[in-house]
Structure 1
Amino acid sequence: MRYFISMLLVVMLFAACSHENADVIKIKTSEVISTNFIGNGVQWSAYPHADTENAVWGKLMTDEKWDMNFTRLNYMKPKLFRVCDQANWRYMVGFDKQGNPILDFDTPEVKAVEKIFDYAQENNITVLIGEWGTPYKMHDKDAGHSDKFFGANDPKWINSIVAYLDYLINTKGYTCIKYYNLVNEPNGDWASVKGDFVEWSEGVKMLVSALKEKGLDKQISVAGPDAVTRYDNPRSTYTGAGWVEESAKQLGDEIGIFEVHDYTDHELVRSGGFKKYHGDIAKYAKDAGKQIIFGELGFSRNSEENQARAKADPFACEDSQMEVYDYSYGVDMADALIQSMNAGYSGAAAWALDDAMHTLDDLGFKHQIKRWGMWNSLGTELANNPEDENIRPWFYSWSLMCRYFPTGSAIVNTDASGKDGVRITAGVLNEDITVALVNNSSVQDTLALDLSMATHLQKFVYQEGNSKVDDNGFPMAVASNIKASNNFEVILPAKSFVLLTSLKY
């Protein structure tokens, strides 16, 4: 009996040790997934319905409204802006007798979008600029001039783009503008090119040539293909993923950075399959020796439940993601972002910063707002609801993923936890490290991390009903100056996000 008890104790001790060793997750700083990480950020368009006296709503975006956005972004510290616009909203003001576009870069509308560029310039934020599509072909209100350009490969449009970029880069001195996006989601049947790869690729080649001729290629290059990876247009020659593959094959020299969109599926993310799917796509960029980013990242709006919620909101249109009001969206978005970083992506811009930016088809109807934002700057003016201007839950996790993964970081490998719903990513910059973790399961978990390379850490926890924020609604650490170790225990509540960092601002 004594022998049996002794052996049982040995077995239990061995099992305990084995379990402890198995659960210690190593941050493999020598195994780099990607270097020169650009960073995460947001899609932030200027407000075409509300940014000037000429806008359909008038100048509702006052200095106070802009300052509210700036203050919140000051906490977030985004590293990437995607600023998509239209020539005919800003600087294309008409046509001469020969049908050539008349350009004016001194309009109130250009000055409005320059507020975004000024902020990016002051804060070292990489800007991806672009246009939704060929001017006057995107919206019914513009149909009167839809015959002025024949497509994305029209030299008149390409020359207009280059003139605008020359003004922004050489006249205004915006060094923050690094990439240009020709046509939003060109593989879509909603795009101005309707999924025509030949038309789009011809436009890209013409644009690259024109940039070189003007000497602008030293600062700015083309981002593409901007395709929606999981959308296959039956009218297009290639699938969504195929657009990336063919861009690598046919435009490898012309593409400066690969860039894609996904309005992803909850199950794909929660199962961990998002990393595999988009990792396979990232290989096309890697093989071409280029970086890849998400220009837009969000979750599908197409569920019956979401559409019912949008219909019940008198100010929302069908192109809305009502989960932005839900705590769970902050977990899901962080989960997708962590998987994208582990798949080799150099950054991601969330769609979107602010509800007030867009309406359905950008026709300007106040009761058709695209609800996708972290707040609605015009909640009072549009919905008679000042509370709609408040910060929404998912700002918590997304802002931390922007703030604590600086530009220039190396995203490094971690031992997989092997636990359902648990994802981890780590970034290293000089002597500092940030580790982000998600538990997207319904069960609390405990992990041990080897953080012996750090000294002291801050810890943030995003958990429903238990997320610490300050008076502004900005995330606060639940603990600071925590001593790191090679067996650092982390409790992951069910459906939560946790961030540990040695970085301090």
Structure 2
Amino acid sequence: MRYQRLFIFFSIAFLQILFASLTQGIDKFIVNDNQIVTKNFLGFGAEWDTYYYNGYNISDKDFKLITDRISNMKLPIVRIMVLGKYCYLGNGKYNWNSDSMISIYKQLDFCQKEGIKVIVCAWGAGYNPNDWLKIHDVSGVDDPKYADVVGTIMDYLLNTKGYTCIKYFSTINEPDLQLRNNWGMWLKCMNNFADNFKRHGLTHKLILLGPEITESNADNWLKNSSVQLSSLLGVYSLHLYASRNLVKSGGLESIILKNMKYVSNSNSVAASKPFFITEAGMSDDFKPPYGNPHISDFQYGIFMADYAVQAARAGSSAILAWMLDDNSHKDFYWGMWANKIDNFKIRPWYYAWSLLSRIFPNGATVYRVEQPKDIRILVARIHGSTDEYWSICLVNRASSYKTMGIKVPEAKNTLFSYFNYYSNASTNDVDFFNKSVIKMRSDISGSIIVNCPPNSIVVLTSLQT
């Protein structure tokens, strides 16, 4: 018996040494509730405008192609441009059946059906007759008539048409640039809209979102917004186009945290509000407003996924890519697919962004776990009606394979679907997700070992995708 016990002891010791040698070089992390950063994540969305759909002659068949792709992505949230000039004719008259408004109704009908949350941005009013934003009878965004015109449109969309999918409203796009950093002008605009929404009974139907400024002017605008508008704003928002070097270094997360602290350090009311990135993209070599020459590169997908993970880890409740579709504006090349002239060709980053939008849905709880050098990690718990699910995203920015040991104690013996976005893996195939899935199961402790190819995105989810 003594020899049997010694044999068992040395066998166990040998197995422990063998396991240690086999797992040497594996980076391990454990998920726990102390790492929670967001308890009601809204998801990864996109800007979706129909401003130039009529210019590109987008037919009903074309529109179905576009919405089928959005459905396949399971986009949880979109931001939509709605301009005063779409229907306001001047002298208090509106054309609710203009071509532009018909396009908006089609968008909103689809979002209502699919349960997609909508941010409406009125964009601005223009300051001269030739300005593309010019609205009849309106002298500028601080003119009460601007709030009257746009408020009437919002009243029609919510109270007459019944679009409950519209949850958020933004008065102006990038007021720091449009108004040349005139804070007082935007403050007056915001108060005009608050009064107008109250008259239309929209105060409790719409959440005001802002200031929608660029990161270069964020400090003063976010501080002023959190101090002077904390009773009006329900969401704080920022536009941030980042460089490849910043994102690859992992430094974007701290930049977003810094901007969020401009709000949270101001007062407790502001600190309790969600923070959105409502325009996310790459700044390298971009040609404002038209596009980015790197948009069709495989690497753009890696960049955007890395950006998204860092933004979510920082505590952003929603991250919206700029933008969904090249048909939105004339000669733009920002989208996940090309315009009608170029046959709606899908770009690789469509697949990267879709992986995130599908596996990190609205309502998820997001965790910021420790991560090794050159790896970005995002973990989320998804609360179903009867069960709970887990999603994990790993972005490997290294030039070599990385092996990760992931332990989720509450996901014992759980079946995960494994997807991988890496060079030559993505094809121009909208059914990419169903064709590239591999199944993996965690062990009785909730642990699973995952290999990450160099320069790739790996996602694991126990959701039915």
**TM-score of the two chains, using structure 2 as the length reference:** 0.88
Q: 2:114 aligns with which of 117, 120, 123?
A: 123
Give how far 1:106 is off: 2.7
Give the unaligned 5+ runs of structure 1: 1-8, 52-56, 232-238, 308-316, 360-368, 380-384
For residues 205-242 of structure 1, the C-alpha deviation after alignment (integer angstroms, 9 at most, x for no partner) is 2211221232211110211000111x2xxxxxxx3232
**Does residue 1:296 correspond to 2:279, yes or no?**
yes
Q: Which residue of 1 aligns with 2:363?
A: 408
- 1:303-322 equivalence runs, <5 A: 303=285, 319-322=290-293
Q: 2:379 aligns with which of 413, 416, 426?
A: 426
**Does residue 1:371 correspond to 2:333, yes or no?**
yes
Q: Which residue of 2 aligns with 1:391?
A: 346
Distance (whole Å) between structure 2 residues aligned to residue 332 and residue 22 of structure 1: 24
Distance (whole Å) between structure 2 residues aligned to residue 446 and residue 212 of structure 1: 55
For residues 424-444 of structure 1, the C-alpha deviation after alignment (integer angstroms, 9 at most, x for no partner) is 001111210100110122222
**More moved, 286-295 vs 338-347:** 286-295
TM-aligned CA distance change 1:91 to 1:338, over 3 Å: same
Q: Which residue of 2 aligns with 1:153?
A: 142
Q: Which residue of 1 aligns with 2:246?
A: 268
Q: Which residue of 2 aligns with 1:439?
A: 396
Q: Which residue of 1 aligns with 2:417?
A: 458
Q: Which residue of 1 aligns with 2:183?
A: 197
Distance (whole Å) between structure 2 residues aligned to residue 228 and residue 472 of structure 1: 33
Is the contact between residue 43 and residue 318 of structure 2 (CA under 8 Å) also seen in structure 1? yes
Q: 1:73 aligns with which of 60, 70, 73?
A: 70
Give how far 1:147 is off: 8.6
TM-aligned CA distance change 1:141 to 1:459, over 3 Å: same
Q: 1:417 aligns with which of 331, 352, 371?
A: 371
- Amino acid across the alignment from 1:41: G
Is the contact between residue 127 and residue 139 of structure 2 (CA under 8 Å) also seen in structure 1? no
**Does residue 1:347 correspond to 2:347, yes or no?**
no
Is the contact between residue 75 and residue 474 of structure 1 (CA under 8 Å) also seen in structure 2? no
Is the contact between residue 452 and residue 484 of structure 1 (CA under 8 Å) also seen in structure 2? no
Distance (whole Å) between structure 2 residues aligned to residue 248 and residue 106 of structure 1: 39
Q: Which residue of 2 aligns with 1:92?
A: 88
Distance (whole Å) between structure 2 residues aligned to residue 213 and residue 489 of structure 1: 58
Distance (whole Å) between structure 2 residues aligned to residue 434 and residue 445 of structure 1: 19
TM-aligned CA distance change 1:77 to 1:15, over 3 Å: closer
Q: Which residue of 2 aligns with 1:482?
A: 440
Identical-pair percentage: 27
TM-aligned CA distance change 1:392 to 1:147, over 3 Å: closer
SS at match of 2:31: strand
Distance (whole Å) between structure 2 residues aligned to residue 418 and residue 410 of structure 1: 22
**Does residue 1:171 correspond to 2:149, yes or no?**
no
- 1:213-224 equivalence runs, <5 A: 213-224=199-210
Is the contact between residue 40 and residue 349 of structure 1 (CA under 8 Å) also seen in structure 2? yes
TM-aligned CA distance change 1:471 to 1:396, over 3 Å: closer
Distance (whole Å) between structure 2 residues aligned to residue 197 and residue 255 of structure 1: 15
Give how far 1:477 is off: 5.9
**Does residue 1:49 correspond to 2:80, yes or no?**
no
**Does residue 1:332 correspond to 2:291, yes or no?**
no
SS at match of 1:187: helix
State the superposition RMSD in angstroms. 2.6
TM-aligned CA distance change 1:227 to 1:138, over 3 Å: farther
SS at match of 2:458: strand
Give how far 1:470 is off: 8.4
For residues 368-427 of structure 1, the C-alpha deviation after alignment (integer angstroms, 9 at most, x for no partner) is x11001112312xxxxx43xx22110011101111111111110231x2222x2100011
